[in-house]
Amino acid sequence: MGKRALERRLSAVADFADPQVELEQYATPADLAAHLVHLADVHHDVAGRTVLDLGTGTGMLAIGAATRSPRRVVGLDRDGTAIEQARENESHVAPETPIEWVVGDATRAPLCRKNLRAKSVDSAESTELTESASSVTVLMNPPFGAQTGNQHADRAFLETTSAIADVSYSIHNEGSLDFVEAFAEDAAADVTHAFRAELPLSRQFEFQREERKVIDVEVFRIEWR
């Protein structure tokens, strides 16, 4: 399946029904999600691997990855309502690989490289992720912190990623290049790809004046060691 076909499939993913401003809940658009997943697939970062979508929200990135023959896909969000919606979105798109949905905080233990334990919404059982260190890909569109005055809220997501992934694809707000490169350098990681993209935001919150606003974002592929 090509990028365009994936974008068409992902257009069935419904937006947040009741977005929470403090969690920065806006969906990754289908075209950007398809681009990210396609790029990851071309780099052999999806098929046969564990893919973890941190801050999965509507499930857009996890669902996209689940169409590309991963070994396992986990979508994690701290908001149980979003996870329920992601689950419903999964049933609309019907990706070939079933997704494990987990309610949990992406920025806190026990999410760690060898062992991810968190309760899924419909099970009291722990979800364990015990992978070899070289097979975990993180895809994420984390909160930026720009609107909530919590500058670089994405730092905590990067910290988690550095502990559990060997490669990641992440979306950050415009002007993040220096921050992401410095973070990667400190972690002895390599930013192998960086490109700009546009993120259309429809009016969700009262403080947003325009019906639709397009913001510039930056996307990074990072190899962690």
Ligand X SMILES: C[S@@+](CC[C@H](N)C(=O)[O-])C[C@H]1O[C@@H](n2cnc3c(N)ncnc32)[C@H](O)[C@@H]1O
Kindly tell me which residue out of 40, 63, 82, 165 binds ligand X, with binding defined by CB under 6 A.
Answer: 82
When asked if residue 77 is in the footprint of ligand X (CB under 6 A), the reply is yes
Tell me which residue has tokens 């052999």: 44
Round to whole Å and give the CA distance between 221 and 193.
5
Structure-block tokens of residue 223: 């190899």
**Binding characters for ligand X, 201-220, by CB under 6 A (x = yes):** --------------------
- Tell me if residue 35 falls in helix, strand or coil: helix
Kindly tell me which residue out of 50, 67, 97, 107 binds ligand X, with binding defined by CB under 6 A.
Answer: 107
Structure-block tokens of residue 31: 């075209």
Kindly tell me which residue out of 6, 26, 83, 168 binds ligand X, with binding defined by CB under 6 A.
Answer: 26
CA nearest neighbour of 152 among 138, 168, 164, 170: 170
Which residue number, 82 or 164, has a Cβ lying nearer to ligand X? 82
Sign of CA dihedral 159, 161, 162, 164: positive
- 3-state DSSP helix/strand/coil percent for the chain, to nearest 5? 30, 25, 45
Structure-block tokens of residue 72: 């396992």
When asked if residue 169 is in the footprint of ligand X (CB under 6 A), the reply is no
Stretch near ligand X under the rule CB under 6 A, chosen from 1-9, 37-45, 76-84, 120-128: 76-84
When asked if residue 197 is in the footprint of ligand X (CB under 6 A), the reply is no
Give the binding-site size for ligand X (rule: CB under 6 A).
22
When asked if residue 28 is in the footprint of ligand X (CB under 6 A), the reply is yes
Kindly tell me which residue out of 7, 9, 10, 24 binds ligand X, with binding defined by CB under 6 A.
Answer: 24
Stretch near ligand X under the rule CB under 6 A, chosen from 102-110, 119-127, 189-197, 200-208: 102-110
Round to whole Å and give the CA distance between 46 and 69.
7
Nearest-approach distance from CB 64 to ligand X, in angstroms: 9
Structure-block tokens of residue 67: 């169409």
Structure-block tokens of residue 61: 């990135």
Binding site for ligand X (CB under 6 A): 23-28, 55-58, 60-61, 76-79, 82, 105-107, 141, 143
